[in-house]
Structure 1
Amino acid sequence: MTDQNRPVLHLKDASLTLNGNTGPVRILQDITLDVHKGETLGMIGASGSGKSSLLMLMGGLEQATGGTITALGQDLTAMNEDALAHFRRDHMGVVFQNFHLIPAMTALENVATPLELAGVTDAFERAQAELDAVGLGHRSGHYPAQLSGGEQQRVALARALAPRPAILLADEPTGNLDEANGAAVMDLLFGLRDRYGATLIMVTHAPELAARCDRVVRLRDGHLLDDRAAHEAAE
């Protein structure tokens, strides 16, 4: 397979089993899935179906206990924690439902931090440009506690996309927002994806968000049930 045809993400029989109080708990079972460059993939399913766990496997934030996961031609299942952290730093952006901003840092510092870690010389200039892009340039000196939920999520988006990642992972990015802020963040998310050409994989409960994806997969009880166009999944 040529590099041009190789999936950005390739999962083959990926499984995740964790130890619970009563013994092993099978979270994900035999997930086989390809995601291609520039694609937007939505992952839907009931709470507890394994959506967020699957996203964490894709980002190397959880280690698969079975099968293989390849991202950009690199085997994530063969990497240790340090190697995974470096891979995420260089190639992935992650947006969480709960923002995960650093409270003691300003919006500008939150966005600049991953750039500094990557050795970008103009980290603060780029961070300011990203805040401008999400409409928060005037709030760059504010701390997370001084920002609304919608503003915090926009800072989180700017932070995730500032390093220009090839892969963007989003876990319920509008889950903690009201309808108006959720719609604004959704528009920003897809606009920034188009601007930087990132491959977007997103967990969501929102039908309107899933409908904007190129493709949707559904999970139930740790199994991948189906794989279809977004407009069919939203019906």
Structure 2
Amino acid sequence: MSSPVIALEDVTLTLMGNAGPVNILRDISLRVEPGETLGLVGPSGSGKSSLLMLMAGLEAASSGRITVLGQELTALGEDALARFRRGNVGVVFQSFHLIPTMTAIENVATPLELAGARDAFGRARAELDAVGLGARRDHYPAQLSGGEQQRVALARAAVTRPRILFADEPTGNLDGATGEAIMRLLFELRDRHGATLVLVTHAPDLARRCDRVLGLRDGALETYAEAAE
């Protein structure tokens, strides 16, 4: 059996609320295999996005062990986590998170520039071409539609050729037709870069495209059928 790209062992996440500690995730253990597409489903507040953030190294677990690409994330500090993400992980959010004062090509080139990559703008231009936005590369986010902004976000996530792509409700702010186009592009990016994909979604048709689907409810893993009810 090959080594998993992501492994969680007895992971919990507890945050402090106004009324005291809140258990966000409880005793999560799972493996994600190389090249797999994993869907995470469940009702709002079930912990799906929090689980994705833990796997991406954007949130720290309260207890347990998280290993990604052979690196134990729970043993890393903030600076080391940032370096690890920069070289291995691409993240696409529901709300795009583009830098409003930068053009599309500047947004896409930013992670390459931070990594000291040569020809950052040439690679960014090629990635924008791949998502059909080559002609809009000098536009600012406010000049782009929601679907176009998400295409820029996809290009930015993929431009570093990450080994793992994380997507948190990437079609949540888009209409049906635009969302379908974005998902097609996301799967194309996964195939083109040979990446593992972890996807949070409420959409049953999108979940069915995944190799495997895990459900969450009240911070615990359960079957897809139970979580979808």
Distance, in Å, in 2 between the alignment partners of 1:146 and 1:223 is: 41
Distance, in Å, in 1 between the alignment partners of 2:168 and 2:189 is: 16
Task: Identify the residue that residue 10 of structure 1 maps to in structure 2.
Answer: 7
Distance, in Å, in 2 between the alignment partners of 1:200 and 1:119 is: 25
Distance, in Å, in 2 between the alignment partners of 1:107 and 1:234 is: 36
Give 1:70-219 correspondences, 5 Å limit: 70-219=67-216
Task: Identify the residue that residue 226 of structure 1 maps to in structure 2.
Answer: 223
Contact kept in structure 2, 1:27 and 1:50, CA below 8 Å: yes
TM-score (norm 2): 0.97
Q: Secondary structure at the match of 2:161?
A: coil
Structure 2 unaligned spans of 5+: none
Distance, in Å, in 1 between the alignment partners of 2:145 and 2:8 is: 37
Percent of aligned pairs with the same amino acid: 71
Distance, in Å, in 2 between the alignment partners of 1:107 and 1:179 is: 23
1:47 to 35, 38, 44: 44
Deviation sequence 1:151-189 (CA, Å, 0-9, x none): 000000000000000000000000000011100001000
Task: Identify the residue that residue 68 of structure 1 maps to in structure 2.
Answer: 65
**Paired amino acid for 2:22:** V
Distance, in Å, in 1 between the alignment partners of 2:206 and 2:39 is: 8
Distance, in Å, in 1 between the alignment partners of 2:60 and 2:197 is: 21
Deviation sequence 1:70-96 (CA, Å, 0-9, x none): 000000001111111110000000000
**Paired amino acid for 1:226:** T
Contact kept in structure 1, 2:43 and 2:228, CA below 8 Å: no
TM-score (norm 1): 0.95
**Paired amino acid for 2:34:** K
Contact kept in structure 1, 2:42 and 2:228, CA below 8 Å: no
Q: Secondary structure at the match of 2:223?
A: strand
2:56 to 33, 50, 59: 59
Report the RMSD for the aligned CA atoms in angstroms. 1.6
Structure 1 unaligned spans of 5+: none
Distance, in Å, in 1 between the alignment partners of 2:152 and 2:224 is: 32
2:18 to 7, 16, 21: 21
Contact kept in structure 2, 1:94 and 1:170, CA below 8 Å: yes
The alignment covers a number of residue pairs equal to 229
